[in-house]
Structure 1
Amino acid sequence: MSIARRLADLFRVKANKALDRAEDPREVLDYSYERQLEMLTKVRRGVADVATSRKRLDLQVTQLQQAADRLQAQATQAVDLGRDDLAREALTRRAAVTAQMGDITAQRDALSAEEAKLTTAATRLQARVEAFRTRKETIKATYTAAEAQTRVGEAVSGISEEMGDVGMAVQRAEDKTSQMQARAGAIDELLASGAIQDATATTAGRDDLQAALEAARGDQGVDRELAALKAGRSAPAVGGGQARPEVTSGQPEQERQR
């Protein structure tokens, strides 16, 4: 299969899908009904035209019949007057009129038969159009009810496009909320462990020792040294003697040497 053929087939498939989505069966039924009404109108117009022509021929036949009767009367009068020549002329004209009347009568009969056929066809077509109209309204009502039921079902089940968009928006909001909560919890844990410092916290009153203590948090060696230092300060003096009292800074140098 050539590329052009494949592209043409693909275009037709896409076009059919697009038309199927855009097509409303109710509109199609209404359009079909309108076309049938137009056809019925044309058939009725044809019946009217044939009836008009047939009526015109009827009038011509009537006029020719009257002319033939008049010529017959003239021929009779000519015979009574002994004018055979005039009687012969009247009869000749009457024969021509009779022949013409026969032709027109044949045409009229043909038109009458055509009028009868068209009338029967118009009656049948009208019956079909009325039946189609009834079926059309039934199908439209059924389709409308099914469409409404489908929309309600989609709205309730949440599978419609609108409800699907709402569900996706809610899901995205929940995901972002969970992500933000996890981020906030992680930041709180980092602040509590000292991995990061609170930039908004004040640094007033913090000396170098406090900073060193915070920096040395978790160092086991420093903790052991601190424990040993505390143990040495709390142990009694060597040799069993009493601890030498501390000398305040206000005592004189001589008293400190005694």
Structure 2
Amino acid sequence: MFAFFKRVKTVVDSELNSMLDRAEDPVKMLDQFMREMEADIRDAEKAVANQIANEKMLLKKLQDAEKMVNQRESQAIKALESGNEDLARRALEDKNAHVATVNSFRESHIIAKKDADVLRAKLDEMKNEYNEMKLKKDSLKARAESAKTRTKMNRAMSSIGGDEGRKGFERMEEKVMRYEAEAETSDDLRSSSRSLDDELAALDKGNAVDDELAALKKRLGKE
């Protein structure tokens, strides 16, 4: 688990950018890194807890053995004071056996405590590296999102100002101009048609006046 952290730290420090270039989704890849690191930290915490428990157990056994050494020595003294040398001898023999146990537990406890201290230090290092990676992850995620947004905007602006869009607008402009020309032609034709009708109507109106004028002259006998 500790090797994984060293590998991730190297990746983030020197190779993450190229890895993100190859990744389909850099944000998801970063989240996956963090989940793996969190799982390793949980495993390390369990290992440290077990080692601390082992250290405490050895310390308890060491203290119990030391207590028996002191107890047997006191009992040997008490037996001698009572005139029971044989009992005092047996108490001292048992004391020596407990002394050997004390020495064994003391050595084991020293090793266990050293291992526990090393594991604690590595766990602290893992957590510090995790926090460092978390800050980098947040920064990289923000950069990735910003890059995606810029890319979308650039693509949108490129589409708006591209040849295809410009040609489309030009086609629509030509259609509008054609519609306007057709409308003007229609207006001209309509104006011409109205002028002819007006002239014909005026001609008809003029003939009617002449007929009416001739009729009046006839009535007045002025023909």
What's the TM-score, normalizing by structure 2?
0.61
- Asked whether 1:147 is paired with 2:148, we answer yes
Distance in 2 separating the partners of 1:104 and 1:27: 50
Question: What residue identity is the alignment partner of 2:109?
Answer: R
* Distance (whole Å) between structure 1 residues aligned to residue 121 and residue 37 of structure 2: 16
Output the CA distance in 2 between the equivalents of 1:121 and 1:74: 46
- The alignment status of 1:117 with 2:118, answered yes or no, reads yes
Quick one: distance in 1 between partners of 2:23 and 2:124?
36
Q: Which amino acid aligns with 1:106?
A: E
How many equivalent residue pairs?
149
Matched with 2:62 is 61
Distance 1:111 1:39 in 2: 22
Instruction: Name the aligned partner's letter for residue 147 of structure 1.
Output: K
Task: Name the SS of the counterpart of 2:83 in structure 1.
Answer: coil
3-state SS in 2 of match to 1:82: coil
Residues 79 and 88 in structure 2, CA contact (< 8 A), matched pair in contact too: yes
User: CA–CA distance in 2 between the matches of 1:22 and 1:59?
Assistant: 53
Counterpart of 2:98 in structure 1: which amino acid?
V
Q: Report Cα offsets for 1:36-78 as digits up to 9, x if no partner.
A: 1111222222111111110111111111111111111111111
Q: 1:73 to 1:136 in 2, by over 3 A?
A: same
Return the structure number with greater relative CO, CA threshold 8 A, min gap 6. 2
Residue 28 (structure 1) aligns with: 29
Greater share of residues in helix:
2
How high is the sequence identity, in percent, across the aligned residues? 23
Matched, 1:70 2:71: yes
Cα displacement (A) at 1:153 = 0.8
Structure 1 residue runs of 5 or longer lacking an equivalent are 1-19, 179-258
Structure 2 CA distance, aligned partners of 1:53 and 1:22? 44
Provide the TM-score with structure 1 as the length reference. Answer: 0.53
Note the C-alpha offset of 1:21: 8.1
Task: Report the counterpart of residue 127 of structure 2 in structure 1.
Answer: 126
> Which amino acid in 1 is paired with 2:31?
D
Instruction: Name the CA distance, whole Å, in 2 between partners of 1:94 and 1:86.
Output: 12
- Pairwise CA distance, 1:155: 1.2
Unaligned runs of 5+ in 2: 1-20, 176-223
Letter of the 1:146 partner, please give it: A
Aligned residue in 1 for 2:44:
43
The aligned amino acid for 1:60 is K
In structure 2, the residue matched to 1:89 is 90
1:42–1:25 distance in 2 versus 1, CA, 3 Å: same
Larger Rg computed on CA atoms: 1
**Which amino acid is 2:121 matched to?**
T
Shift of 1:29: 0.5
